[in-house]
Amino acid sequence: MSVLNKKTVEDIEVAGKKVLVRCDFNVKMENGVITSDKRVVAALPTIEYLINKGAKVILCSHLGRPKGEFDPEFSMAPVAECLSKYLGKEVKLAADVVGESAQALAASLNDGDVMLLENVRFEKGETKNDEELSKKFAALAEVYVNDAFGSAHRAHSSTAGVAAFLPSACGFLIQKELEVMGKALENPVRPLVAILGGAKVSDKIGVIENLIDKCDTLIVGGGMSYTFFRALGYSVGISLCEEDKIELASSLMAKAKIRGINLMIPIDNKLGKEFDANTESIIVDSDSIPDGWMGLDIGSKTQELFANAIEGAGTIIWNGPMGVSEWENFAGGTIAVATAVANATDKGAVSIIGGGDSAAAVKKLGFEKKMTHISTGGGASLEFLEGKELPGIACINDK
């Protein structure tokens, strides 16, 4: 499928129409207070566009993991308050998801008004993509817009099911994700350098297999690199290693060689005696890891090697840290990679940060503004990079 061929909110007539917009308002909360409103801010361009076009805007999202019933802890009330401040107008909150309150509020909307449904996961049928619930969502509106990329990999009633019953389009947030990531996969500025980290090879098999056909250089770091070391016959001490994936690592290296892809793994590593932020540490070459030690970061020689490979890139896709980046003592590799990606972007490279820990590292270092694109969807961007069809995008009408 060409993901770039989906209708966007600018391709549909919305004036005077009730528009149901699936957003990602799954914000970080503590004691009923929003501690990061980034996801709310990310949704504003689509919402403001609809208001300015005179649509009657019905917003919906999940928050946390309530068990299919009303739970005040997961109410959307703080989100409605936050949205009201940003939009400079009252965002009315329905007392339910698709019940009497939601129906009455939706019916009373004037052009340019905005309302918010209660947490869609208060409905048992939401995560089951229940057809009856999808029909009830559709009955509230005349048009459906999906702008929740972070949930696009889930086939739920509010992310996919409802689109079967209404004309549909994607919002500006999803449009940007599709354009930037889609182009990087389908028609990248070369050389394309993919950097994959994180703990397990098994989490990234699909991504590696999809990117190995597309990239010029593939950098592997983090806990998953020790499985590759074992495939080369190295001892890894007590490092994280997926014994059942050694053969796969071996075949991926062979595949890269046949295709002429530069597959890079660490040449030295920073080891710790135990899995602890303050454990004693040493740096050794990858083929000399002693018994009783575990790899917790890439070493300084590898940092330089990876940085040099990143420097000349035309397009960079980065997903996953190089070590236990939340611990200062083992964050050096992730910092080095983030710095190299920022520098390459300064020189004109397209840089895509695939959410999660990589995004957190980039933000912490203050490089957020330098990157071309930081994905809003952790699981969704991984599946997109794997080349999988995302239900929340597949359901949108083609242009």
Question: Is 22 marked active-site?
Answer: no
Clarify whether 270 is annotated catalytic: no
What residues contact residue 103 under an 8 Å CB cut-off, 6+ apart? 139, 140
Q: Which of 161, 295, 356, 392 is catalytic?
A: 356
Q: Which one from 68, 99, 182, 379 is the annotated catalytic residue?
A: 379
List the structure tokens of 315: 């397009």
154 is annotated as an active-site residue? no
Q: Based on C-alpha coordinates, what's the Rg of the chain?
A: 23
- Which residue in the list 200, 273, 301, 364 is annotated as catalytic? 200
As a whole number of angstroms, the distance between CA 199 and CA 208 comes to: 14
Separation CA 111–CA 50 (nearest Å): 10
Nearest to 309, CA basis, from 341, 280, 334, 335: 341
**65 phi, psi to nearest 5 deg:** -130, 65
Does 356 participate in catalysis according to the annotation? yes
- The CA distance from 39 to 214, in Å, is 31
Q: What is the DSSP code string of 182-229?
A: HHHHHSPPSSEEEEE-SS-HHHHHHHHHHHTTT-SEEEE-STTHHHHH
If we measure between CA atoms, which residue out of 79, 89, 118, 119 comes closest to residue 102? 118
Could you say which of 22, 39, 136, 270 is catalytic? 39
Q: Which residues of 55-77 are buried (b: 16+ CB within 10 A; e: fewer)?
A: bbbbbbbbbeebeeeeeeebbbe
CA distance 259 to 83: 50
What strands, in cross-sheet order, belong to the sheet with 262-264? 262-264, 217-220, 192-196, 315-319, 350-353, 373-374
Instruction: Break the chain down into helix, strand, coil percent, rounded to 5.
Output: 40, 20, 40
Q: SS3 of 83, please?
A: helix
Are β-strands 114-116 and 168-170 bridged in parallel, bridged antiparallel, or unpaired? Answer: unpaired
**Do residues 117 and 80 touch, judged by C-beta distance below 8 A?**
no
As annotated, the active-site residues are: 39, 200, 356, 379
